[in-house]
Amino acid sequence: MTDVTTPTDQAVDETAGEPAPTDAAPAAARHRARFHPLTVAAVERLTDDAVAVTFEIPDELLEEYRFEPGQHLTVRAMIQGQEVRQSYSICQSRGAAGMEHLRRVAVARVPEGRMSTFLNDVVAPGDVLDVMTPLGSFTCPTRPDGIRHHVAIAAGSGITPVIALLTTALEEEPGSRATLLFGNRRTSSIMFLEELEDLKNRFPGRFQLITVLSREAQDVELFHGRLDRERLEAIFGALVPVDQVDEWYLCGPFGMVTGAEELLLERGVDPGHVHHEIFHVDDGTAPKRPVVVDTGAPPEATVTINLDGRTTVIPMPSRDETILDATLRVRPDAPYSCTGGVCGTCRARVVAGEVRMDRNYALEPEEVAAGIVLACQSHPVTDAVSLDYDA
Ligand code: FES
């Protein structure tokens, strides 16, 4: 296991002992993602293997839990004696009626998934869980006077951010329309089927739902199978002319998202209009090897972090461990969730020195160009590195 628990007396907290940031703290520090205990208002069963969990947001936290459609919340809980964190997309539109004080996420059960099993089987209304404020860059600003065609390609639980994005676009852009290509195994496993049918009624002529099932016969052969390249090409040719689409949203397993993105770019779509989020990464790269470090060894590099208005200097005995792992030894408040380069929760800006990332499925090229990195994937290249989580 990566050694992330042994405290080291070599780290220096340059503001240790100072009071926690208050309203006088810099705006960026105030808005950094942080956990708050939230009460579960409802747990609704969506399918045999998925629930929607709704949290109550008290008045004083409304501003912190304001969100952009497509963003996610990270839930933290102690399960069988271990802290577990997992991110779940917010599945409500920005202006959903009666939801101002509520945030709803959808949780599909994952085999062996401790958090998804806990939320599906154990959690009940009235329980209190730690929930991080919203994060994520799978977003697209709406334009009230826009006349656009928004098209989403989603599979399985990839619907969760997409339903928020498309519903918000339909509600906030009266001149726009939306199409959803939605892949599932069978009808009984489709999350939000009723809500999607309702969207067709609420926005007649403006919302088109194309359901593709891999393990259930369909009247139309085109809609039976997986949302692979061949099927997407056929659907584009028959129903969704690519050159008449303004914004694309891709969400689901790695292969589906990368396959669809490749196809769109080959068709000449501007990458700036292709928004994507990956739920499971299987890119063939070797899994991250656990790194055990001797915290008493001379440092190979030194990392200085600014987090929540406090600066901490952290010696790193090995450049092989990630900056996040080194940071957590002394700053357990550092934000993270997936530790796999997918969710973006651990993002920070490099303000001095140079780092390299193992992989990145969360940041856009322009964010990387601006010096944003994922701490869970970053290793120092230079002897001294400074990261600002508040920037
Ligand atoms: S913790 Fe998810 S990308 Fe780093």
Going from N- to C-terminal start, the domains of the chain cover: 12-18+294-388, 34-132, 149-280
Which whole number is the average pLDDT over 276-287? Answer: 68
Cβ within 8 Å of residue 284, ≥6 positions away: none
| 85 alpha carbon, distance to own chain's centre | 12
- The pLDDT of residue 4 is 28
As a whole number of angstroms, the distance between CA 385 and CA 336 comes to: 19
What's the sign of the alpha-carbon dihedral 382, 383, 384, 387? positive
Which whole number is the average pLDDT over 194-199? Answer: 97
Give me the phi and psi of 302, to 5 degrees please.
-125, 130
Tokens of 190: 């489709």
Q: Are 349 and 391 in contact (CB under 8 A)?
A: yes
> Which ranges constitute the DSSP H helices of the chain?
27-30, 114-121, 159-172, 193-202, 229-238, 254-266, 323-330, 365-369
CA 344 to ligand 1 center in whole angstroms:
5
| CA-based R_g, the chain, Å | 22
- The pLDDT of residue 296 is 87
- The pLDDT of residue 291 is 81
Confidence of residue 273 (pLDDT cuts 50, 70, 90): very high
Cβ within 8 Å of residue 365, ≥6 positions away: none
Atom of ligand 1 nearest to the CA of 376: 4
Report the largest interatomic distance among the alpha carbons of the chain, rounded to a whole angstrom: 68
* 149-280 under CATH 3.40.50.80, yes or no: yes
Which whole number is the average pLDDT over 282-286? Answer: 57
Atom of ligand 1 nearest to the CA of 343: 2
As a whole number of angstroms, the distance between CA 159 and CA 227 comes to: 14
Ligand 1: residue of 345, 367, 378 to mutate (most ligand atoms within 8 A of CB) is 345
Ligand 1: residue of 75, 325, 338, 357 to mutate (most ligand atoms within 8 A of CB) is 338
Atom of ligand 1 nearest to the CA of 346: 4
Confidence of residue 364 (pLDDT cuts 50, 70, 90): confident
- The pLDDT of residue 260 is 97
Cβ within 8 Å of residue 370, ≥6 positions away: 349
Between 3.40.50.2020, 3.10.20.30, 3.40.50.720, 3.40.50.300, what CATH number should domain 12-18+294-388 receive? 3.10.20.30
34-132: what CATH class? mainly beta
CA 181 to ligand 1 center in whole angstroms:
28
- The pLDDT of residue 290 is 63
Amino acid 133 reads: T
Tens digit of pLDDT for each residue in 285-301?
555 656 888 888 999 99
Q: Are 369 and 162 in contact (CB under 8 A)?
A: no
- The pLDDT of residue 26 is 35
What's the sign of the alpha-carbon dihedral 84, 88, 94, 98? negative
Ligand 1: residue of 76, 84, 86, 337 to mutate (most ligand atoms within 8 A of CB) is 337
- The pLDDT of residue 298 is 92
CA proximity to 202, closest of 184, 178, 229: 178
**Could you give the angle at which helices 254-266 and 229-238 cross, rounded to 10 degrees?**
50
Confidence of residue 354 (pLDDT cuts 50, 70, 90): very high
Q: Are strands 384-388 and 347-352 parallel, antiparallel or unpaired?
A: antiparallel
Alpha carbon nearest to ligand 1 atom 3, residue: 341
CA 105 to ligand 1 center in whole angstroms:
19
Tens digit of pLDDT for each residue in 10-34?
455 444 333 332 223 333 334 568 9
Atom of ligand 1 nearest to the CA of 336: 1
CA proximity to 319, closest of 363, 384, 386, 387: 384
Q: Are 347 and 362 in contact (CB under 8 A)?
A: yes
Tens digit of pLDDT for each residue in 56-67?
999 999 999 999
Catalogue the E-assigned strands of the chain.
12-13, 35-47, 50-56, 72-79, 82-89, 102-108, 128-132, 149-155, 177-184, 207-213, 247-253, 274-280, 301-307, 310-316, 347-352, 355-357, 372-374, 378-380, 384-388
CA 360 to ligand 1 center in whole angstroms:
9
Q: In which region does residue 377 sit, left (phi positive, over 0), alpha (psi from -120 to 50) or beta (all else)? A: alpha
Tens digit of pLDDT for each residue in 87-138?
999 999 999 999 999 999 999 999 889 999 999 999 999 999 999 999 998 9
* Ligand 1 pocket at CB < 6 A: 336-339, 341-346, 362, 374, 376
